[in-house]
Amino acid sequence: MGKKLLITGNEAVGYGAIYAGCRNYFGYPITPQNEVVEFFARELPKIGGNFVQTESELTSINMLYGAVATGVRAMTSSSSTGFSLMQECIAHMAYCSLPAVIVDVQRGGPGAGSTQTAQMDYAQVTKGGGNGDYYPLVLAPFSVQEIFELIQRAFYLADKYHHPVIVLSDAILGQMMENLELYSINFGPLPAKDWAATGQGERKYRNTVPNIWTFFNNYRDIIVNLGKKYQEITDNEVRFKTYEIEDAEMVIVAYGSSARISLETLRRLRPEGYKVGLIRPITLWPFPTKIIRETSHRVRNFLVVEDSLGQLVEDVEFAVEGRAGVHLLGSLARHLPTSSGMIFPKTVSEEVKNILCHK
Amino acid sequence: MKRKVDENVKREPFSGRIISSTIKENIDEKVEREIVYSRPECMHDLPTILCPGCQHGLIYRLIGEAIDELKIRGHCIGVGGVGCHAMGMGMLKIDAIMALHGRAPEVATGIKRSLHGKPIVFTVQGDGDLAAIGMGDMINAVNRGEKLTTIFCNNAGYGTTGGQMAPTTLLDQVTTTTPEGRQPQGFGYPIHVAELLATMTGMAFSARCALTSPAQFNQALKTVKTAFQKQIDGVGYSFVEILSACPPTFKKTPLESIKWIMSHMLEEYPLGIFKDVDKIP
Ligand SMILES: Cc1ncc(C[n+]2csc(CCOP(=O)(O)OP(=O)(O)O)c2C)c(N)n1
Ligand code: SF4
Ligand SMILES: [Mg+2]
- DSSP track, B117-163: T-SEEEEEEEHHIIIIITHHHHHHHHHTT---EEEEEE-SSBTTTTS
- Residue A126 pLDDT exceeds 70: yes
Q: pLDDT tens across B133-142, in order? A: 999 999 999 9
Closest CA–CA distance from residue A207 to any residue of chain B (Å)? 5
Q: Dihedral, CA atoms, A35, A40, A43, A48, nearest 10 degrees?
A: 180
* Chain B residue numbers touching A92 (CB-CB < 8 A): 100
What integer pLDDT is reported at residue B153 of this predicted model?
98
The closest alpha carbon to B138, from B121, B153, B156, B150, belongs to B150
CB B97 within 8 A of CB B79: yes
Give the pLDDT confidence score for residue B186 in this predicted structure: 95
Q: At what angle do helices B104-114 and A57-68 cross, to 10 degrees?
A: 50
The whole-number pLDDT of residue B240 equals: 98
Report CB contact under 8 Å: B96, A210: no
Contacts of A50 (CB under 8 A, 6+ apart): A23, A24, A25, A44, A67, B113, B114
Pairing of strands A276-281, A240-243: antiparallel
Q: pLDDT tens across B135-193, in order?
A: 999 999 999 999 999 999 999 999 999 999 999 999 999 999 999 999 999 999 999 99
Distance CA A38, CA A34 (A): 6
**Does ligand 1 come within 6 angstroms of the Cβ of B137?**
no
Interface test with A, best of B92, B106, B228 (most A CBs within 10 A): B106
Q: What is the residue with the minimal CA distance to atom 3 of ligand 1?
A: B101
User: Do the chains contact at A67 and B111, CB–CB below 8 Å?
Assistant: yes
CB of B103 shorter than 6 A to ligand 1: no
Report whether A277 contacts A252 (CB < 8 A). Answer: yes
C-beta of residue B250 within 8 angstroms of C-beta of residue B46: no
Distance from the first to the final alpha carbon of chain A: 48
Is the pLDDT at B86 greater than 80, yes or no? yes
* Torsion angles phi and psi, residue B188, rounded to 5: 75, -165
Closest residue to atom 5 of ligand 2, CA basis = B50
Q: What is the mean pLDDT of chain A?
A: 96
In this predicted structure, the answer to whether residue B4 has a pLDDT above a threshold of 80 is: no
Q: Atom 9 (ligand 1): residue with closest C-alpha? A: B83
Percent of chain B with pLDDT over 90: 84
- Over range A56-82, report the average pLDDT: 98
In chain B, what residues touch A56 (CB-CB under 8 Å)? 136
Query: Residues of B at the A interface (Cβ-Cβ below 8 Å)?
Result: 73-77, 79, 89-90, 93-100, 103, 106-115, 118-120, 136-137, 140, 144
Give how far A211 is from chain B: nearest CA, Å: 9
Check residue B36 and give its pLDDT.
84
Instruction: Please give the helix or strand (H or E) that residue B256 lies within, else none.
Output: helix B254-260
Cross-chain Cβ contact A199/B115 below 8 Å? yes
The Cα-based distances of B267 to A171, A182, B262, B264 in angstroms read 56, 64, 8, 5
> Nearest CA of chain B to the CA of A80: how many Å?
21
Residue nearest to atom 8 of ligand 2 (CA): B54
Note the residue count of chain B. Answer: 281
Give pLDDT, residue A243.
98
Residue among A54, A67, A209 minimizing CB distance to B98: A209
CA B14 to CA B51: how far, in whole Å?
A: 9
Identify the burial level of A45 via C-beta atoms within 10 angstroms of its C-beta, where 0-12 means exposed, 13-18 middle and 19 or more buried: exposed
* Distance (Å) of CA B165 to CA B2, B9, B33, B80, B258: 48, 40, 46, 21, 19
For residue B3, the model assigns a pLDDT of 40
- Secondary structure, 3-state, chain A: CCCEEEEEHHHHHHHHHHHCCCCEEEECCCCCCHHHHHHHHHHCHHHCCEEEECCCHHHHHHHHHHHHCCCCCEEEEECHHHHHHCHHHHHHHHHHCCCEEEEEEECECCCCCECCCCCCCHHHHHCCCCCCCCCCEEECCCCHHHHHHHHHHHHHHHHHHCCEEEEEEEHHHHHCEEEEECCCCCCCCCCCCCCCCCCCCCCCCCCEECCHHHHHHCHHHHHHHHHHHHHHHHHHCCCEEEECCCCCCEEEECCHHHHHHHHHHHHHHHHHCCCEEEEEECEEECCCHHHHHHHCCCCCEEEEECCCCCCHHHHHHHHHCCCCEEEEECHHHCCCCCCCCCCCHHHHHHHHHHHHHHC
Average pLDDT, chain B: 92
Average pLDDT of B37-45?
91
pLDDT score of B22 more than 60: no
Alpha-carbon distance of B92 to B79, in angstroms, equals 11
pLDDT in tens, A233-249: 999 999 999 999 999 99
Determine whether the interchain pair A56/B136 forms a contact, defined as Cβ–Cβ distance below 8 Å: yes
> Residue B166: its pLDDT value, please?
98
Q: What residue's CA is closest to ligand 1, atom 10?
A: B83
Q: How many residues does chain A have?
A: 359
Mean pLDDT of B4-24: 52
CA-based nearest residue to A81, from A44, A47, A127, A118? A118
Yes or no, beta carbons of B136 and A55 under 8 Å apart: yes
Q: For A110-132, what is the mean pLDDT?
A: 94
Q: Give the contacts of B95 (CB within 8 A, at least 6 positions apart).
A: A197, A198, A199, A200, A206, A207, A208, B76, B77, B78
Q: Find out whether A54 and A28 touch, Cβ atoms under 8 Å.
A: yes
CB contact under 8 A, B115 and A52: no
User: Would you tell me which residues 294-313 of chain A have a C-beta closer than 8 angstroms to some C-beta of chain B?
Assistant: none
Contact list in A for residue B144 (CB cut-off 8 A) is 52
User: Which of B89, B95, B136 lies nearest to residue A198, judging by beta carbons?
Assistant: B95
Q: Are A190 and A156 in contact (CB under 8 A)?
A: yes
Task: Report how far residue A76's alpha carbon sits from residue A50's, in angstroms, rounded to the nearest whole number.
Answer: 12
Q: Which of B101, B133, B170 to mutate to test the pocket of ligand 1 (most atoms within 8 A of CB)?
A: B101
Quickly state the pLDDT bin for B20 (edges 50, 70, 90). Answer: low
The pTM (predicted TM-score) of the whole model is 0.93
Cα dihedral B235, B237, B243, B245, rounded to 10, equals 120
Show Cβ contacts of residue B274 under 8 Å, excluding neighbours closer than 6 positions: B194, B195, B198, B206, B207, B208
Q: What is the pLDDT of residue B34?
A: 84
Q: How much is the pLDDT for B47?
A: 84
3-state SS assignment for residue B28: coil
pLDDT tens digit sequence for A183-233: 999 999 999 999 999 999 999 999 999 987 666 668 888 899 999 999 999
Shortest-distance Cα residue to atom 12 of ligand 1: B83
Burial B253-269 (b: 16+ CB within 10 A, else e): ebeebbebbeebbeebb
Beta pairing, strands B203-210 & A137-139: unpaired
Instruction: Measure in Å the smallest separation between the Cα of B43 and chain A Cα atoms.
Output: 12
Q: Which chain B residues touch A205 with a CB distance below 8 Å?
A: none
Task: Give the helix/strand (H/E) hosting B56.
Answer: helix B56-70
| CA B216 to centroid of ligand 2, rounded, Å | 21
CB contact set of B23 (below 8 Å; sequence gap of 6+): B30, B31
Q: What is the largest CA-CA distance in chain B?
A: 69
Closest chain B residue by Cα to residue A206: B95
A85 to chain B, any CB pair closer than 8 A? The answer is no
pLDDT at B13: 54
